Structure 1
Amino acid sequence: MKDAEFSAGLEEFTYRLHDKLCHANPCQNIIYSPLSIRTSAGMLRMGATEGSATAKELDEGLCFYGRDLQEVADSFDAVLKSYKECRVLKMVNGLYVMNGLEVGGQFANILEKKFHSKPMEIDFGSKQAASIINKWVESQTNNLVKDIISPKVLSQDSRLLLINAIHFKGNWSIKFQESHTHEEKFFGPGKPVMVRMMHVSDSFSFVVLPKLEATALKMDYSACNLAMIFILPDEKSNLTSLEQKLPGTSLQALSSSMNLEKVDVKIPSFKAEFQQELSQAFKLMDMNRIFGDQAEFGAMLKSPAPLFVSKIIHKAFIEVNEVGTEAAAATAVVVTMRSMPAPQPLPKVFHANRPFFYAIYDKTHGILFAGHFTTNKDDKDEKCDRCTYGNECTS
């Protein structure tokens, strides 16, 4: 699978998943790593019985475009190798196996050579199991992702745990000056709230998107060809309308259509943390068999066992400030036995004082993190004024 195909598949997977996360979490800040989730699920795919209905569902749901197992594995290997050269990004995979069990030969070989992960034995039934796994995740994410696994998730029947952890900390190529940051109103769901609004005026990649009724801004990081794209709905539109149109948009094409312009930029300084059990989202994306008696994971263990996925847990964190961005995420799949001067033109304006979509990506391999920012409030019990139609929020 070529880099362009991997990137396109990852983007399609991102938009499908984004829709499910938005509907399940109306009016909340969302941050997740589609790359982390797809990588963990990709490892799971390596253990599916080749030619089975389970393998087919995963191939379609994860947008692997019908490529064979080796091509898919080679693509993840290329991504992992490229990010090893990036000093601001760390991405690792882990495979925990129940004491006394041996991983299937081909499965173990692919995970070690292509996903760079060797089996680690553990007693899932012990009180220390969750703590051991959580400490490993914390150590790989600069202590940002904590307690991803609850002891209640694991049991004596747990057989394998596939896990991916990703950490990114990048500085803006053009930084905001902290002295230019001021408290301003942010018009999110419900009443306007005050946020720390960062401000800079400089040359940035910018484009007006009439079809999306939005504008987009790209802010580059100083390393590894990474950037953050912000897509801001027009005042006459809203975030929900924008996100419904995103699946027909390629971030690569959008980025290529941008022009370097003088832009007056205002973006909130914010932190967000988000956790989601993804089983329902996967089922809504037509990946059902992995969770029940029909699951076919004959390649995972040497000894035949009726395996199924009991949990897919994802947790992510992001902080955007004057210096840059720090983000981290982890995904765990538990397999159980059964995000100017006058002569010059006036600057363009990009004032993100209302809900917006964002993504951190690289133009070779695609989206690392995606999400949206709606408010700086953490009070999850307070419903926004617009959350009145089931799970649909029209902010």
Structure 2
Amino acid sequence: MAEEQKEVRAVLQGNGEFTKNLYSILAKKPGNVFFSPISIHAILSLAYQGAKGKTQEAFTKALNVPDGRVAATGYKDVMTRLNSVNNVTLLIANKLFLQESFKLQESFKDVAVQQFLSEVELLNFKQPVSAAASINSWVEKKTNDKIRDLINPDDISDDTALILVNAIYFKGKWAEPFDAEYTKTEKFYLNDNDTVDVQMMHLTRKFYYKNDESLDAKVLELPYANKDISLIVVLPNKRNGIEELENKLATTDLTRITDNMFKPEVSVALPKFKIEQTIDLKSPLTELGLGVIFGRDADLSGLIQTTDSLYVSKVIQKAFIEVNEEGAEAAAATGMIMGLRAAFLPLPPETVVVDHPFGIYLVQREGPLVHVLFSGRVNHPKE
């Protein structure tokens, strides 16, 4: 049991490092950012099981886990726990779609099914329209119809041998819902000068909170009906401080971002927002050091039974979040397409007015650590 806990902790910490490293790359582009790091980390960890040589080394470094066995054992526990959370809807699932003329390596099939709780389905990728429809139907079902058309028929070619998909879906009501009666139109500052009108929600309750001097930001935890799941809002103290905050978060241990918080009365103003994004992850993952999986030098020979070389042609994620008075709904799906080439003293009320760009983390607590399920930046609540 202690060994399993150690491996779960390794996966959580690896996912935390992976989150901030990938976020730093995605945040270079302007606008909103929203993605599910665990969805990407999980599906890459599954592919890692069939990697060898330098490709295996690249996975180890990028995923920040000691080795494939630790990733597999840790994810079995993580996925089992995530799928058994009470009082909110939280679902995470893996599935392998394999060209029907191929077979998985038995050792890989065993770890995929037993450790990653993955389903396996044979498809005919020579018929890309029907193959894409089958994959997208599964994703839609797993994400309550929030993620549609993850895979386009054009993503599938005659060389496609294997598509790995992870889907994650969350819907939860706040432990302390916002009263819609107090929601009103207010200004949100896009920068020091420009504003946009948003629907701002208001609530005063006791929440875990801190003014983090090292981040020069306020950190607020808004729990859901299951208080192990919460939305962490990180609000820079300066209206134009989001870039500076992101630079500091890049060297912060995200699994411990809620350390040293206290629970005062907090007056919260939070904008309603909805973000939906599609991210082609080939370039970001290459920047993370995983470029080898996309090229002819990839060694993924432990995945399927073939004499041809297997490589990754695409890694795509679609992610969605909506935050309103009742709570939040979030979903993401990541597809990896492989081809052959080859307790506290009372204090005065605190005020957190989220009226300028801020960071968000949707997390699950695991003891003193937090597990980042979704991560993002809200630059514009209405885009």
Residue type of the partner of 2:50?
Answer: G
Corresponding residue SS for 1:296: coil
User: Which residue does the alignment assign to 1:372?
Assistant: 377
One-letter amino acid matched to 2:246? E
Report whether the alignment pairs 1:53 with 2:54: yes
Contact 2:24 2:250 in 1 (8 A): no
Offset of residue 297 of structure 1: 0.8
Deviation at 1:377, TM superposition (A): 3.9
In structure 2, stretches of 5+ residues that fail to align are 1-5
Which residue number corresponds to residue 390 of structure 1?
none
Partners in 1 of 2:227 and 2:80 — Cα distance? 13
- Give yes or no for the alignment of 1:259 onto 2:258: no
The CA deviation string for residues 124-153 of structure 1, in whole angstroms up to 9 with x for no partner, is 121211111111100100000011111100
Asked if residue 75 in structure 1 is aligned to residue 74 in structure 2, the reply is: yes
Aligned length in residues = 367
Report deviation, 1:237.
5.2
Paired position in structure 2 for 1:97: 98
Opposite residue 17 of structure 1, the aligned amino acid is L
Q: Does the aligned pair in 2 maintain the 1:17–1:281 contact within 8 Å?
A: yes
Instruction: Kindly state the Cα deviation for residue 156 of structure 1 after the two structures are TM-superposed.
Output: 1.6
**Which of 337, 340, 348 is 2:340 aligned to?**
337
**What is the aligned counterpart of 2:47 among 34, 44, 48?**
44
Tell me which residue corresponds to 1:357. 359
- Per the alignment, do residues 106 and 352 of structure 1 end up closer, same or farther by CA in structure 2, a change over 3 Å counting? same
Whole-Å Cα distance in 2 between the matches of residues 290 and 99 of structure 1? Answer: 23
Tell me, yes or no, if the aligned pair for 1:230 and 1:357 is still in contact at 8 Å.
Answer: yes
Question: Offset of 1:345 from its aligned partner?
Answer: 5.0
- TM-score of the superposed pair, with normalisation by structure 2: 0.93
Q: Deviations over 1:98-133 (max 9, x none)?
A: 011111010111001001113210011212111111
C-alpha distance in structure 2 between counterparts of 1:298 and 1:62, whole Å:
19
Does the 8 A contact of 2:275 with 2:321 survive in 1?
Answer: yes
1:111 corresponds to which residue? 112
Q: Which amino acid aligns with 1:291?
A: F
Give the share of equivalent positions with the same residue, in percent.
Answer: 31
Partner residue in 1 for 2:13: 8
Whichever residue aligns with residue 357 of structure 2, its letter is P
Which runs of structure 1 show a deviation greater than 4 angstroms over 4 or more consecutive aligned residues?
none
Determine the C-alpha separation between the residues in 2 that align with 1:85 and 1:95: 22
In the TM superposition, residue 235 of structure 1 has moved relative to its aligned partner by 2.2
Structure 1 unaligned regions, length at least 5: 339-343, 379-395
CA offsets, 1:173-225, max 9 Å, x none?
A: 11100001000000015720000000001111010111111111001111161
> In structure 2, which of residues 152, 155, 161 is the aligned counterpart of residue 153 of structure 1?
155
Q: How does 1:170-319 map to 2 (within 5 A)?
A: 170-189=172-191, 191-223=194-226, 225-235=228-238, 238-319=241-322
TM-score, normalised via structure 1 length: 0.90
Are 2:240 and 2:357, in contact at CA under 8 Å, matched by a contact in 1?
no
Match of 1:386 in 2: none
- 1:260-288 deviation digits (Å, cap 9, x = unpaired): 01111001011000111001001101111
Aligned partners of 1:84 and 1:215: how far apart in 2? 31
CA contact (8 A) 1:30 1:273 kept: no
Q: CA deviation at 1:251?
A: 3.5
Determine the C-alpha separation between the residues in 1 that align with 2:227 and 2:201. 24
Give the SS at the match of 1:256.
Answer: coil
Looking at structure 2, the residues matched to 376 and 82 of structure 1 have their Cα atoms a distance apart, in angstroms, of: 32
Report the CA distance between 1:39 and its aligned residue.
Answer: 0.5
**Aligned-pair distance for 1:256?**
2.5
- Quote the Cα distance in structure 1 between the aligned partners of 2:125 and 2:37: 27
SS at match of 2:290: coil
Which amino acid in structure 2 is aligned with residue 160 of structure 1?
Answer: L
State how far apart, in whole Å, the 1-side matches of 2:112 and 2:35 are: 23
Q: 2:132 is matched with which residue?
A: 130
* 1:29-78 superposed Cα distances (whole Å, 9 cap, x missing partner): 111100000001111111112xx0000001101111x23x2221000100
Q: Give the superposed CA RMSD.
A: 1.4
Could you tell me how far 1:236 is from its partner in structure 2? 6.0
Given that 2:274 and 2:382 are in contact with CA atoms closer than 8 Å, whether structure 1 keeps it comes out as: no
The 1-side partners of 2:308 and 2:101 are apart by 14
Secondary structure of the corresponding residue to residue 43 of structure 1: helix
Q: Secondary structure at the match of 2:125?
A: coil
